[in-house]
Chains A and B, each alone.
Chain A
């Protein structure tokens, strides 16, 4: 437990009677891409703001890089780069000047500005005033700002918000490359499971301020329930036949769905159905999609 790179213990934030974040225990290991997943308003941004010292926790504690936070705030924040919600920028300055306002404070070599601009692909627009940037470019400038101090931990809150498909792909590739190329640990939040699924190795799911699930992505995928679907000539009769062996078969039009059973039992069912004169057109092994897992974890019905 104590060797986690970032760890929160019973972290809680209350606004009056409303509990925005409720006793959450996040755990990030070094070089993780930790996907922080939850619907809008679940408490992701509130948690991230506490991790950055922008707001104070009501109770609970945070440890980062083995130091307690916000007690060692300065030491910790030196190693953290962040992009919270919409990107921050000074519209009247160009990209270089925007980064320079940060560089003067964190005191890194001036050459670092060109480096991060080329990482995010803004080199040729660097001298344009940011007011005229598209949302995607501002987002990339935000990432550049977050990378400027060569952080060990990068906190990205909804980094693909407002990006076009090409931008989302680019952002995803960039984030995926960070642990291997630069040894950076990433905490990336999103309300889209598909996005987290394509980047993260660890996942934390938050809803109504509480963590519902926290483990590796494989564990999340393993939780997926198997179903076996059968397309048969006379589904009603077949369902009846199957139910006489104590297996429930749900009928959707001409498809029968039964819950997961071992191979031998599948073979037995097929054999019996054929002997009873059914034609079997298809047998499909169906895993619950992550979207469905997510919905079942967060307790919402699919609309």
Chain B
């Protein structure tokens, strides 16, 4: 574990020359476009939550789950490509440390996307001249909860990305399981669906979907599945034959 920060810095270096920046801004950019096109009455009360709902729709329901898979696959891709695993894991590193480092990198990148998204909401809101003051707490909560709810999903995607040498296979699974999101999150089992959890946590409560889940329940489920998926990932990487 003493070597954890070293593995982490090595992981950061491996991201060089990747088109990561583009991947990170893609979803906030599209959200911004949706925000611009939305015909918002800037004077009405609750204009900020309405704008947030509009902008977070595609981002939380579609892009956030997809992104967690893309980033996980991305960070394992160059290990699968040219024998990276065998070189990395025959160094004096613990496999647990390698897993955690890769996980932390993906989680950090996803947090960056969330912050860019928040910036986009602020920018559009101010552009449209919303009369009410900026509801900082709501924005930060939405962005952070969306991020927290993505953590179990990242663990699950990381497990698939480590197990499968193919870049496309985990992404295909991810897309297939992300698509029914809109339906699943409106059912009462929605909170148990890892692909749906980010949108449940991120969209403002009691909004137009009629989703009504207490945040406490959601966080409890998320915490439980996070522990479960991380343990599964650690068990897998520690047993994996390279």
Contact = CB atoms under 8 A, between A and B. Distances in A.
Given A49-B242, A84-B86, A93-B17, A105 B78 contact: no
Contacts, number: 88
A106 interface: yes
Contacts of B86: 49, 52, 54, 84-85, 88
A89 interface: yes
A56 B17 CA distance: 35
A90 B92 contact: no
B83 A88 contact: yes
A84 B90 CA distance: 10
Interface residues of B, number: 26
B102 to A, nearest CB: 13
A89 B82 contact: yes
Contacts of A284: none
Interface stretch (A75-83, A266-274, A288-296): A75-83
B84 A88 contact: yes
A225 to B, nearest CB: 41
Contacts of A105: 3, 6-7, 10, 91-93
Nearest to A51: B90
Interface in B1-50: 3, 6-7, 9-10, 13-14, 16-18
B92 A78 contact: yes
Nearest to A89: B82
Contacts of A158: none
Interface string B63-82: 00000000000000010011
B17 A106 contact: no
Interface string B82-98: 11101111111110000
Nearest to A155: B90
Contact of B10 (A77, A80, A102): A102
B10 A86 contact: no
A74 B7 CA distance: 14
23 contacts: A52-B86, A52-B90, A54-B89, A55-B242, A56-B241, A73-B92, A74-B94, A85-B83, A85-B86, A86-B83, A87-B83, A88-B86, A90-B14, A90-B78, A91-B78, A92-B17, A92-B18, A93-B14, A97-B13, A102-B10, A102-B91, A105-B6, A106-B92
Interface of B: 3, 6-7, 9-10, 13-14, 16-18, 78, 81-84, 86-94, 241-242
Given A74-B92, A104-B6, A105-B91, 6 more contacts: A75-B92, A78-B92, A87-B82, A88-B87, A92-B78, A105-B93
Interface of A: 49, 52-56, 73-75, 77-78, 80, 82, 84-93, 97, 100-102, 104-107, 129, 145
